[in-house]
Every structure is written in C-alpha cells, then in structure tokens.
C-alpha cells in the first residue's frame, strides 16, 4: 500500500522539493496550500500520485474541510509533514519587535501546527505506522550562544520543538519528530543559502518514509539527532 502523505505549504521551497522526492519513491502525496489553484498547479507539475488540498493552517474551517476531503478520498493518513511557516521579522531587533508580529508568527508556526496535528490525529490513527514531521529550524535551538536574528521566528521554532515533544507524549503510537532542513535557497531562505531545497528536504523525506518508527521525540538534521 502506498503511503499517503500530506505536506502543508508545499507549493514551493522545501515542501515542494519533499513532495517531488516522496512522489518519486511511490508515495501518494497531498500538497497543501492556502490557495487551492496554486496547490493544483504544483501537483500537476509533479504528475501522477500527487494531489492538492486547500489548507490554511490558521483557519479552523479550512483545516476541518481538508480533513474531511482527505478522509473521503483516502480514508487514512500515514504521514503529516507540518512544513508551513512564516518569517516576518528577518533583521528586526527584539527591542523593536511588535507583540502583534510575535503573535502572528506563533499563530502560524506553532498554533497552526498544533491545530493541524490535532485535526489529523484521527486519520493518522488509521495508519499502521503513522508519522508526524515538524519542520523546525536550528534557529530555535537552545544549546548555542544567544542569537539576535529574527526573534519572533526563533521563539516560534523553539516553541515548535516543545510542541514536538508534547505531541510525541500525547500520541504514543505516532512517530513524531522535529527536523531542521539547514539554510536553503527558497523564498524564505533567500538566494545566498548554501543548500538547495532538495538537500533541505532530504531528512523530511527520510523521516516520512524510511526512518525507523521507534525514532521519535527527537530533533534531527541530515538524518542524525541534534541537540534541542
């Protein structure tokens, strides 16, 4: 049975690269996007085995509708890749950061991920080996020197990592992990980044398809566990 894998925010960047890698390995991939037309177009570019769903992770109604659509079409979900995120405060100082920007960032990167994970938990429960991959970032790591770059984004990725641990505890039969793609050439990462979107997507693809199911509650980069 081909695994059924939903990737949020997968019309471009790392999510789109992961969709292509997973489809090439025989997975049934569902591309999520706030704009259905954009998702349909992206799915067409990848060919058979890829479908599209409208999914705004900040909108309860949109999430519910996506669950209903995937339930009707496939009846289960084998992997959920929470890839969607926003970065609004690139070079902003924490001292000038508007609370609204932090709230908006947390609402997408953390609350949105929780909302989608909660909503798809019943469909994941119908899989023999369900997986959740939260696309996080080294920007959220707590083991290094204090950093000043993109405070709202960094705070959101640290919170996302705790969400990963909480989800792993709440869903003992689901393999739940965070992963960092590394700095990649995408709309978010910019053109100076050293990695291609495909290189960034590799660990996501591995976690969604091949990594051992008892590897859970961890933070990974380049297929290896890294410190939180």
**Contacts with ligand NDP, residue ranges (CB under 6 A):** 8-9, 11-15, 33-35, 38, 55-58, 83-86, 108, 112, 135, 137, 180-181, 183-184, 186-189, 193
Closest CA to 186 of 11, 13, 10: 13
Task: Specify the residue, 2 or 147, whose C-beta has the smaller distance to ligand NDP.
Answer: 147
Between CA 5 and CA 8, with CA 6 as vertex, the angle to 5 degrees is: 150
Report helix angle 13-24 to 36-46, nearest 10.
40
Q: Which residue is nearest to ligand NDP (CB)?
A: 13
d(CA 142, CA 138) in angstroms, rounded, equals: 9
Minimum CB separation of residue 26 from ligand NDP in Å reads 23
Taking the alpha carbons of 110, 224, 21, 138 in that order, is the dihedral positive or negative?
positive
Minimum CB separation of residue 206 from ligand NDP in Å reads 15
Phi-psi region of 212 (alpha: psi -120 to 50; beta: other; left: phi over 0): beta
Written as six digits, the tokens of 209 are 């398809």
Q: How many residues does the chain have?
A: 228
Task: Specify the residue, 11 or 21, whose C-beta has the smaller distance to ligand NDP.
Answer: 11
Task: Specify the residue, 58 or 126, whose C-beta has the smaller distance to ligand NDP.
Answer: 58
Minimum CB separation of residue 35 from ligand NDP in Å reads 6
Task: Specify the residue, 58 or 165, whose C-beta has the smaller distance to ligand NDP.
Answer: 58
Minimum CB separation of residue 108 from ligand NDP in Å reads 5
Task: Specify the residue, 135 or 163, whose C-beta has the smaller distance to ligand NDP.
Answer: 135
Minimum CB separation of residue 172 from ligand NDP in Å reads 25
d(CA 83, CA 61) in angstroms, rounded, equals: 19
């Amino acid at each position: 049975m081909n695994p059924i894998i939903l990737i949020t925010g997968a019309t471009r960047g790392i999510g789109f690269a992961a969709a292509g890698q997973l489809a090439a390995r025989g997975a049934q991939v569902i591309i999520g996007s706030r704009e259905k037309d954009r998702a349909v177009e992206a799915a067409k570019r990848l060919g058979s085995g890829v479908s599209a769903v409208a999914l705004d992770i900040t909108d309860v109604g949109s999430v519910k509708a996506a669950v209903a659509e995937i339930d009707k079409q496939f009846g289960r979900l084998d992997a959920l890749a929470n890839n969607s995120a926003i970065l609004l405060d690139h070079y902003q100082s924490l001292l000038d950061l508007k609370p609204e920007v932090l709230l908006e960032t947390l609402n997408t990167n953390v609350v949105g991920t929780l909302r989608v994970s909660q909503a798809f938990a019943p469909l994941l429960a119908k899989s023999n080996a369900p997986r959740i991959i939260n696309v996080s970032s080294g920007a959220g790591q707590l083991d290094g020197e204090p950093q000043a770059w993109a405070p709202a984004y960094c705070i959101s990725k640290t919170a996302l990592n705790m969400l990963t641990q909480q989800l792993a505890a709440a869903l003992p039969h689901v393999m739940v992990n965070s992963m960092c793609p590394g700095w990649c050439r995408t709309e978010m990462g910019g053109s100076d980044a050293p990695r291609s979107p495909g290189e960034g997507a590799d660990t996501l693809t591995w976690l969604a398809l091949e990594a051992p199911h008892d590897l859970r509650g961890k933070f990974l980069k380049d297929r290896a566990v890294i410190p939180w």
